[in-house]
Structure 1
Amino acid sequence: MVEMLRELRIIVDEARPTDALFRTNHASNYLAIGGRLPRDRAAILATIDSAIAGEVTLRPEWARGL
């Protein structure tokens, strides 16, 4: 799980759109986040970092709709 969050962090950190809507709110995702890149990059990264640190509750398996 942590490895997937680290990969998501790399994607957000290195993406360079000029104005893009970014969301991970599909039912199958463990962490529902959203914002605009690049404007909200810092907030999105902070949320991912908090999830990696175990400070954010992730979506439980039973709720992922799989």
Structure 2
Amino acid sequence: MSEFYLATTSDVMRFYCFDEPKTDSVGKWTLVGRLDRAQLIAAGDEATARGWAKRLGLKGYTYVNV
């Protein structure tokens, strides 16, 4: 099963750490310097990751598929 994590688009990627954003509000996030699967939540597909990014207000991001 694939997992999708939201990350920055810079040469050295950092990962967005957040609680699952609610549908009706903008979530808060922080950046972490490594992919820690115990700390980050994963989306099951690209559509979910894209929806989370929108709710988090992210403009520049990419998905990392693990």
User: Is the structural similarity TM-score above 0.5?
Assistant: no
With structure 1 as the length reference, what TM-score do the two structures score?
0.23
| Higher RCO by CA contacts (8 Å cutoff, separation 6 or greater) | 2
Flag the structure with higher helix content: 1
Flag the structure with higher strand content: 2
With structure 2 as the length reference, what TM-score do the two structures score?
0.23
- Larger Rg over CA atoms: 1
